[in-house]
Structure 1
Amino acid sequence: MKKLHVEICDVTLRDGEQTPGVTFTREDKMEIASLLDATGVEVIEAGFPAVSAKEQEAVRAVCRMDLGARICALSRARKGDVDAALDCGVDMIGLFAATSDLHIRTKYKKSREEVMAETCAMIEYAHDHGVQVRFGAEDASRTDLKDLIDAYRQATEAGADLATFADTVGCMTPMETFERMQAIRREVDLPLCIHCHDDLGCATANTLVAAEAGAFQLHTTVNGLGERAGNTPLEEVLVVLATKAGINRYDLSQIGALSDLVARTSGVEVARNKAVVGANAFAHESGIHIAALLEDPSTYEYYRPALVGRERTFVLGKHTGRHAIEHVAASLGYHLNDEGVRWVLHEVKRRSEAKCNVTPEVLRDLLCTAVRGREVRG
C-alpha cells in the first residue's frame, strides 16, 4: 500500500446511532468520544443537533469536553439545522444534500438547480460563522459523474472546505470506487471524504481503495455500526493503516475497550467472527495451529492481539491437540503426565463431538481428575 495522507472522521455517535434500535445517552456519547479521542481519531461526528433538544444537548456536551479531536455535527441544507449545530460550538458542520436524480425527484420534488442553490446558500451561511464546512453529496454513488462534479464545484465556490462522496446505499465495488474517486480528484480541488455503507460487504475495501485514489478523510464507525448493514468499521481501517500503510499515530491498544464500550452502550453484540474485535479473532482450536503458535505466534496471527487490546485464547474441542492441553493445563497450574494429557485430550474430543461445550468449569474438573489419577467412564 502506498504512503497515504489521510485522517479519520468517526461517525459512531451519529450514523452509528442510526442503527435500528440504538440510542446513546449524553453520558454514552461523552464516554465513547473520550475513548475515540484517546485512540487518536482526528474528527468525531457527535450527532445531528436538529433531531431533538436532547441530541443538541449531547453534542454540546461533547464539544465542551475540550478533546484533541475536532467535533463535527450533521446538518441538512436548512438554516435551522445549521443554527442548531452552531449553537453547540462545533468545529465542523457536515452539511449534506442528495445529488442523485432518484433522491432529488423523490425527496425534494424540486429541480437540481433549486436544490444546489439552497445548499450553497447554507454552505455560505455556515462558512461565514467561522466553522469548517464539509459538503456531503448524499447518494453520490448513484449520481451522474458530471452532475456530481458540478455539485462539488458549486460547493467549493460557496466556501466548502471538504467534499464527501457518500455511498449511501452501499452499492459500490472496490474497482468502481477507485475509478470514481480518481475521476473526481482530477476535477475537484477540495480534500475528498469517503463515507461507505456495507450493504454489499465492501465498505472497508471501498474506503481503503478510495484512500489510495486520493481520499483524505475516511469515515468509520466502531464495530461497523450503522443503518442496515452498517458502515466501515473503524477497527479494520486502523489496523490496515498500521500494518499496510505504516501509519502508526493511532493508539490501537484502545480498540478492544472501545469496541466493548460501544457494544455495551448500543446493545448490539459483535459477531464472534468479526475481524479485529470479535471473540474468535484471536481464538485457536486446531492442534496444528496451536503447536505452531506456541513456537512462533506469527505462524497463524498476522498481528498480535495485544496490538488492539485483546488476548489470545485457545479453545479446546474436536480439533485440539496435546500441545494445547499441555499449555492450558500448565497455565492453570496443573501438571499432567503423558497418561493424564492423553486422557484429558480424549475427553475433550469426545465431549466436543457430542456437541457438549468444554467450559472452563468442565475443563478444570477434567484436569483435577487427571491429576488425581481417577478413572472416569463417560
Structure 2
Amino acid sequence: MLIDTTLREGAQTYGVTFDNSACRELIKTLATAGIEEIEAGWAGQKELGELLSWARGLVGNTALSVWARLKAVDIDLAAAAGADRLNIGVPVSDAHLGSRLGTTRDKLLLELRELIPLARNRGFGYVSIGLEDASRADMGFLLQVARRAAELGADRVRIADTVGIMDPSAMMELTTTLRNIFPAHIAVHCHDDFGMATANAVSALRAGADFADVSVLGIGERTGVSRLEEVASFMSLRSADKRYDLSAIRKACRMVEELADIAVPRNKPICGRDIFACESGLHVDGLLKAPALYEPFPPEAVGQTSSARRIEFGTKSGRSAVGAALKQLGRAGNPGNLSALTEAVRDAARDLGRPLTKHEVADALGA
C-alpha cells in the first residue's frame, strides 16, 4: 500500500509552494488513483484543518494523515485539524538526538511513553511512529524504540532512510528484522540521494512492509523520495496488483510538473514523453513485428495513447523502418534501392542533427 506524501515531503522541495487550490486538485486526483493514504501536511500548517474538512467527503476510503514532531503541541494541532491518522517523527540516530534535538536516548523513550497515549487521548485511532535517520541509527536502539512503540500500541512504525544511503538488500534486511519484532504495520520512507529510492521501496514491500511513502515525480528534500508513478506502475504491471489507476497518476504527474515548475526528462520512466519513441534499426524492426519485443508495457497501460508509440527516422534508422515508410507513402521498395534510400534518410538526419519530420522523410525518399 502507498502513502503519498507530495503535500508534506514534496512541499519541502526547494522553491516549491502548493496553494490551497493545488492541494485540493492533488488530493482529488490521488484519491481517484486509489492511493490508500495521503499525508496532507504537517501539524500547524496554515489552512490545514479547512483542507482536511473539505477533503473528507471526497476521498472515499483514502486515509488523511498529518505529520507531527514528537511534541504535545503538535499532537494537539494535528487533532484540531481533524486528521484521520497521526505520523509522529521520532529521530533514532545519535547524531539527530544529540546535534539536532539536544536530547538523549532515555529521554526519547520517556517522551514516547507520554505522547503516544496523548495521541490516543486526542482521538487518533491510528498512530504511526516514524523512525527518522534509521539507516544511521544504532540497531539495538532502533529495535528498542520499535518495541517501545509496540508496547504503547502504535499502529505503525515507518523506517526513514533520511539521507538515502541504503540499497535494496540492506532495506530488505532491515524490514525483515523489524517485521520479526513489530506486530503491527511497517512502512518505509526512502530518499533518493543515490538513486535507490524506488528500488528500496519495492524491496521493502517485497520483504513484508505494509506501506511505502511516495511522492508525485519523487519531489521532496534534496533529490526527493520514491516516485509514485514508478512504484505504483511496478506494482500494477509487474506484481499484478491492479488497485491503482495509472491514468490518474499520470494526470498527477502533469499537474506537479506544472505546479512545481519541474522539467520532466523526455526519457523519464513512466511519464517521459519519448519513452515509446524509437529510432535504432534493430529495435524498430522488432517493434514493427511485435511491440512487446522491446516494450515492458504498452502506452495504454500507463495512461498514454497508442500515438505515444513513435518510430522516428534519423541517423540510426534501418531498412525495416524505411520499408514501412515507403508502404505508408504508397511506394513499394525493392532490396536494391532500399539500402540507398535508407542511407538517404540517415544523411538527411545527419545534416539536420535531429530525427526527420514526416515531410522531411518523404523528401528524402523522393516521394
Once residues 71 and 208 of structure 2 are traced to their aligned partners in structure 1, the CA distance between those partners, rounded to angstroms, is: 30
- Alpha-carbon distance change, 321 to 162 in structure 1, aligned in 2, over 3 angstroms: same
* Number of the residue aligned with 2:62: 69
Of the three residues 177, 181, 188, the one matched with 2:182 is 188
Residue 4 of structure 1 corresponds to none
* Alignment of structure 1 residues 28-107 onto 2, 5 Å: 28-50=22-44, 52-55=45-48, 57-63=50-56, 65-107=58-100
Going from structure 1 to structure 2, the CA distance change for 1:358 and 1:284 (only over 3 Å counts) comes to closer
Q: Which residue of 2 aligns with 1:294?
A: 288
CA-to-partner distance for each residue in 1:334-369, whole Å, 9 max, x for gaps?
434539987875454224324533464xx32553x4
Structure 2 match to 1:321: 318
2:266, 2:273 within 8 Å by CA — same for their partners in 1?
yes
Give the aligned partner of residue 106 of structure 2.
Answer: 113
Could you tell me how far 1:317 is from its partner in structure 2? 1.5
Q: Which runs of 5+ in 1 are unaligned?
A: 1-6, 374-378
Name the amino acid aligned to 1:313: R
Which string of whole-angstrom CA distances, capped at 9 and with x for unpartnered residues, describes residues 117-150 of structure 1?
2244222222221331111011011111110111
- 1:244 and 2:241 are equivalent in the alignment: no
Q: CA deviation at 1:57?
A: 4.3
Note closer, same or farther for the CA distance 1:141–1:272 as it changes in structure 2 (3 Å cut). same
Shift of 1:293: 1.0
Q: 1:142 to 1:313 in 2, by over 3 A?
A: same
Q: Determine helix, strand or coil for the equivalent of 2:76.
A: helix
3-state SS of 2:166 partner = coil
Residues in 2 aligned to 1:146 and 1:211: alpha-carbon distance in whole angstroms: 23
Q: 1-side partners of 2:73 and 2:57: how far apart? A: 21
Q: Within 2, Cα distance between the matches of 1:344 and 1:81?
A: 70
112-121 vs 14-23, greater mean Cα deviation: 112-121
Q: Does 1:338 align with 2:333?
A: yes
Task: Give me the TM-score of the superposition, normalised by structure 1.
Answer: 0.87
Instruction: Report if the CA contact (8 A) 1:196-1:203 is conserved.
Output: yes
SS of 2:147 mapped into structure 1: helix
Shift in CA distance, 330/197, structure 1 to aligned 2, threshold 3 Å: farther
TM-score using structure 2 length: 0.89
Q: Tell me if structure 2 keeps the 8 A contact 1:34–1:67.
A: no
Asked whether 1:353 is paired with 2:334, we answer no
Cα deviations by residue, 1:146-182 (Å, 9 ceiling, x for unpaired): 1011111222233311110100100111111111111
Post-superposition Cα deviations, 1:25-68, rounded to whole Å, max 9, x if no partner, equal 11112112222112111111111142x42455445543453433
> Which amino acid in 1 is paired with 2:3?
C
Shift of 1:106: 0.7
SS class of match (1:172): coil
SS at 2:173's partner residue? helix
Give the number of equivalent residue pairs: 361
**Tell me, what secondary structure is at the counterpart of 1:53?**
coil
Cα-to-partner distance string for 1:74-114 (whole Å, 9 max, x where unaligned): 11112232222222222111111111000000111112221
Query: Is the 8 Å Cα contact of residues 26 and 57 (structure 1) preserved in structure 2?
Result: no
Distance 1:119 1:326, change over 3 A: farther
Task: Give the superposed CA RMSD.
Answer: 2.5
